[in-house]
């Protein structure tokens, strides 16, 4: 019997601020999972620390709430231990693009088959409104009362330059587009990054729902070719509008494809130790 959206509803209700963009991401994820024929027991959701990282507690799947910036190492380890599971990592811009950015770069180039959803609100929401890695230049926050002196990080160009095989961005208020891209990211055989504009209605009065509704444009509807890496860089750095959609998708083999013999069965099912015959053969190699 196939699962339905209601099967992914958790008995614990989200405690985000009313109007938080994270509600859209949660709703989109719960609709995307059954649409690609996944059951609740097929999915592991791993998070770091932050408002958005509470998400595993609001969806009925396996879940793990880990450390600040450390969701990706744990998610990758879980995927390799049981590669038959669908693994989705979630977090915020401070979690993923700040303290966790080193893990992100290596996860993208490693290309393990999993999806990373970053709820990007350009502010530290959980700690009540400090500058984050994606806060705009000269943006005034609690930690930068005279204006942010640093340029914001561009997650898309970082991903494109790090060998990520699936690079996308959406606004969480556009749920139809969000569902479609999450579906495609989960089906993609490799690491998929989806940067999501998820407005913080309490602490960020600049990057609001109204701001994104007025400024985002879907590059795929405009004819962008996701197989063109150079075009993806151009679209990711446009200044005339805020672009969303699938920027780049490649057919590079995922990490697991290079470990077919080891991963013939999940690592957790491997037997410990070796037989007497295997021991004898191994010792003979050193004699």
Q: Is the pLDDT of residue 259 over 90?
A: no
SS3 80: helix
Q: Show the domain range for 210.
A: 5-284
* pLDDT tens digits, one per residue of 126-156: 999 999 999 999 999 999 999 999 999 999 9
H runs (alpha helix) in 20-154: 22-35, 71-81, 93-94, 101-110
Number of domains in the chain: 1
Percentages of the chain per state (helix, strand, coil), in multiples of 5: 40, 20, 45
Q: Per the structure block, which two tokens stand in for 74?
A: 């744990």
> What CATH number corresponds to the domain at position 131?
3.40.50.970
* pLDDT tens digits, one per residue of 194-243: 999 999 999 999 999 999 999 999 999 999 999 999 999 999 999 999 99
Nearest to residue 207, comparing CAs of 152, 145, 248, 166?
152
- The CA distance from 61 to 38, in Å, is 10
What is the pTM (predicted TM-score) of this model?
0.93
């Amino acid at each position: 019997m196939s699962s339905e959206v209601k099967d992914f509803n958790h008995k614990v209700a989200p405690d985000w601020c009313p109007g938080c963009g994270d509600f859209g991401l949660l709703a989109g994820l719960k609709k995307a999972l059954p649409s690609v024929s996944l059951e609740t027991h097929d999915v592991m959701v791993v998070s770091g620390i932050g408002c958005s990282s509470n998400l595993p507690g609001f969806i009925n799947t396996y879940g793990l709430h880990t450390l600040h910036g450390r969701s990706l190492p744990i998610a990758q380890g879980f995927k390799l231990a049981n590669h038959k599971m669908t693994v989705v990592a979630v977090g915020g811009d401070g979690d993923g693009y700040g303290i966790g950015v080193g893990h992100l770069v290596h996860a993208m180039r490693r290309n393990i088959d999993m999806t990373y959803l970053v709820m990007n609100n350009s502010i530290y929401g959980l700690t009540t409104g400090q500058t984050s890695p994606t806060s705009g230049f000269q943006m005034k926050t609690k930690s930068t009362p005279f204006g942010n002196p640093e340029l914001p990080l561009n997650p898309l160009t970082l991903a494109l330059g790090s060998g990520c095989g699936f690079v996308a961005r959406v606004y969480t208020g556009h749920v139809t587009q969000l569902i479609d891209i999450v579906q495609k990211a989960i089906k993609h055989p490799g690491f998929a990054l989806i940067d999501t504009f998820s407005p913080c209605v309490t602490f960020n009065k600049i990057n609001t729902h109204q701001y994104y509704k007025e400024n985002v444009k879907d590059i795929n509807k405009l004819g962008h070719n996701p197989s063109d890496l150079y075009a993806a860089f151009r679209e990711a750095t446009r200044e005339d509008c805020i672009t969303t959609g699938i920027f780049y998708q490649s057919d590079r083999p995922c990490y697991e494809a290079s470990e077919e013999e080891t991963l013939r069965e999940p690592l957790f099912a491997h037997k410990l130790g070796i037989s007497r015959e295997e021991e004898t053969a191994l010792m003979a190699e050193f004699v």
